[in-house]
Amino acid sequence: MSNRVVITGLGVVSPNGVGVAAFRDAIKNGVSGIRYEEQMAALQFSCWIAGRPEVSEALQRQYFDELELKQLNSSGIIYGVIAGMQAWADAQLPFPADVPDWDSGTVFGAGTSGVDKFRESIYKVDELQVRRLGSTAVTQTMASGISAFLGGKLGLGNQVTTNSSACTTGAESVLMAYERIRYGHAKRMLAGSTSDSGPYIWGGFDAMKVCTFKHNEHPAAGSRPMSASASGIVPGSGAGALLLESLESALERNATIYAEVLGGHINSGGQRNGGTMTAPNPMAVQRCIKAALEQAGVSGADIDLINGHLTATGKDAEEVRNWSVALERGGKDFPYLNALKSMVGHCLSASGSIELVAAALQLQEGFVFPNINCEDLHPEIAALVDPERIPQQLLYKDINLVAKASFGFGDVNACIILKKYLQP
């Protein structure tokens, strides 16, 4: 069995917009969600800026009851539940009855879960107060906490699981969900990923000296993918969610279809040939892109838009070079290329899913969102790609095929090919 798989629902909790409508407006207008973080400055980080979603208590009450909110101390679970339930509602699917929905499941990824709760738990154990941990410590800190919460709130009766592959997590979750539907094991799968906020997540990256410290006074200018003056990542957080469904099921329901998932590929560079725990093996990246094209049944010449990983580090030029080699395209012939991290920072395990929401919106509505903060395009990138293919203003274009890739610590890679869905 080989079902066609489409996207029928979207949800997003992003630093520059919560909800699809706000997020769409923000990416079209190049609105940054990166702001000054007083706590990071007080803790003597070198980087004092971050992309943290603005999620009000009123919004949280739409998705959690009072008892849950009183007990819940995990920003990642909050973000993921909101994004996931938004995608479910956007797909116009019914909410739980008494019987589980055996045809629907979730693969919802996370890099960590409930770091603030973990910290609280460690202190209580060390202070001999283990009995005061509370009944929700496990569900907030277990890796699968996010999928467990969504499974209960939506009554999911199919596979309910959490994946974790560093910054590749979001793209990987979509491909795992895609395969489950493609081979007939589910009709619908909620795919996505989430990441906690705060210094206990972001501190490790600051310690690695991969975060920028040159834009603490000008947060919106801090994340600079593909820029000659890029000086490191801006940490971020949030969640993205996509409701994947068999085409047959979507047509039966007369559902809105954002895009079709043609296929993709996941691999690893084995931390060889230039690949390390923190850097990608270029050969593996190129193989991943080529294999994704082959699995999707398209050629490099067919790609209209690349939504890159592009983190605002010294690896950006290498990523563009890998795309050029894999697609066998360059100069004016290169696809349009954009980098969402210029507006939201690097949302870590949530980055791929938030960026895939942006990719699906561009396909359905026919636009290319602008790249901000790269007015000084890196010369190595300009030598590979005509600058007009890296637009700094909103473009309205009929986009048919998008390639989206994510690369993560551990030298892991994922690439997904999305296609505009045309009604027969």
Q: Which long-range contacts (CB under 8 A, 24 or more apart) does 179-182 make?
A: 180/105, 180/107, 181/3, 181/5, 181/244, 181/245, 181/246, 182/1, 182/2, 182/3, 182/5
Q: Alpha carbon of 367 to those of 305, 336, 373: distances in Å?
A: 10, 11, 19
- DSSP lists the bridge partners of residue 271 as none
Structure tokens that stand for 378 in this block:
């890196």
Question: One-letter amino acid identity for 179?
Answer: E
- Match 């296609």 to its residue by tokens: 419
CB-based burial label for 95 (10 Å; 0-12, 13-18, 19+): exposed
Q: What is the pLDDT of residue 129?
A: 72
pTM, two decimals, is 0.96
3-state DSSP assignment of residue 396: strand
How far apart CA 256 and CA 361 sit, in angstroms, is 12
Q: What is the pLDDT of residue 1?
A: 66
Q: What is the pLDDT of residue 351?
A: 98
Task: Domain 5-253: give its CATH code.
Answer: 3.40.47.10
Q: Where are the domains of the chain?
A: 5-253, 263-419
Let me know if the fold of 5-253 is the same as that of 263-419. yes
Question: One-letter amino acid identity for 292?
Answer: A
How far apart CA 33 and CA 21 sit, in angstroms, is 15
Q: Is 407 left (phi over 0), alpha (psi -120 to 50) or beta?
A: beta
CB 211 within 8 A of CB 255: no
Domain 263-419: which CATH class? alpha beta
Structure tokens that stand for 187 in this block:
């009709």
pLDDT in tens, the chain (424 residues): 699 999 999 999 999 999 999 999 999 999 999 999 999 999 999 999 999 999 999 999 999 999 888 878 789 999 999 999 999 999 999 988 889 999 999 999 999 877 776 667 665 666 667 666 666 777 777 889 999 999 999 999 999 999 999 999 999 999 999 999 999 999 999 999 999 999 989 999 999 999 999 999 999 999 999 999 999 999 999 999 999 999 999 999 999 999 999 999 999 999 999 999 999 999 999 999 999 999 999 999 999 999 999 999 999 999 999 999 999 999 999 999 999 999 999 999 999 999 999 999 999 999 999 999 999 999 999 999 999 999 999 999 999 999 999 999 999 999 999 999 988 7
